[in-house]
Amino acid sequence: MYAVTLLTNPAAPSLDPALVDSLRNAWGGGDAQWLAPDEAAEFQVAEKPANLWDVWQDLQGMGVDLVAQPDQGRRKKMLLADMDSTMIQQECIDELADVAGVGDRVKEITARAMNGELDFEGALTERVGLMKGLPERIIADVLAQRITLMPGGPELVATMRANGAYAALVSGGFTAFTASVAQKLGFDENRANTLIVENGSLSGTVGQPILGRQAKVDALEDITARLGITESDVLAVGDGANDLGMLKRAGTGVALHAKPIVAAECDVRINYGDLSALLFIQGYARSEFAKPNI
């Protein structure tokens, strides 16, 4: 059996019951279950619909995300999440660069790297070099004044952990940010790169080896082995090219508001929903969401 989930932006819920029933009837699905009024619904079908992506494209024009996946095993035992533009709404390195006065140049490099146009390690090294001499204290200021959590993230982590899942934050960014974000959201662990500081200022270098695409795959392998679970037990989420390795290896890999090159290679694409969509596609109703400690 396959679970078919339809969902919209929770900030402006607009899922039409008539649309859900029309699709359910067309695909011979079972009764619709509403996971959140006007926001998310699901139904079961016997097999994956042959015209899934044609329908998906039509629904995108209506502001509706559509996911079809095997029903068995869709509630996962581990969350593996990217940080920048995934668990938070910003790219930390871009925010630091903006303060340093090199924002436009760094944002251009970031965008090209996330689109897969540049080597990640080389792009990171170049961007960090442009911030040489920036006072270390600026990191705390950026965290406090410029970094905001992605909507639905606190509920996602709290609900999965309340149901026994392990949560790991893995980033090609920096530990100075992941440590704070992970603690705030309740992640069990975090992995990222280290900005080198000398005499209270950024040295313009990053600790070696640089954590990029392969490091996220390594985290998937390491943590699942340690926990005694399989890669199929993992829900991974990210938006950039360096996330593709873990997204394609995980049992469910979610391209969240992702770059086109990333979305094209993922079967689960969330363009309108927020991070709460990752709970809906696991079959959690909003009434089952755990209350975050934030």
Give the active site residue among 82, 233, 243, 274.
82
Residue count (the chain): 294
Is the Cα torsion angle 98, 270, 182, 158 positive or negative in sign? positive
CB 235 within 8 A of CB 254: yes
SS3 state of residue 287:
helix
Query: Is 104 noted as a catalytic residue in this protein?
Result: no
For residue 219, give the amino acid letter.
A
Q: How many other CB atoms are there within 10 angstroms of residue 166's CB atom?
A: 21
Has 84 been annotated as catalytic?
Answer: yes
Find out whether 196 and 205 touch, Cβ atoms under 8 Å. Answer: yes
Strands 252-256 and 234-238, by their bridges, are: parallel
Q: Distances in Å between the alpha carbon of 113 and those of 12, 94, 118, 209?
A: 32, 12, 5, 18
Going by C-beta distance under 8 Å and a sequence separation of 6 or more, which residues neighbour residue 237? 79, 80, 81, 82, 86, 247, 253, 254, 256, 275, 278
On whether the CB atoms of residues 233 and 76 are closer than 8 A, the answer is: yes
Q: What angle do CA 258, 123, 78 make, to 5 degrees?
A: 45
Tokens 């270098």 — which residue? 205
Of the candidates 65, 84, 239, 243, the residue annotated as catalytic is 84
Q: Which residues are catalytic?
A: 82, 84
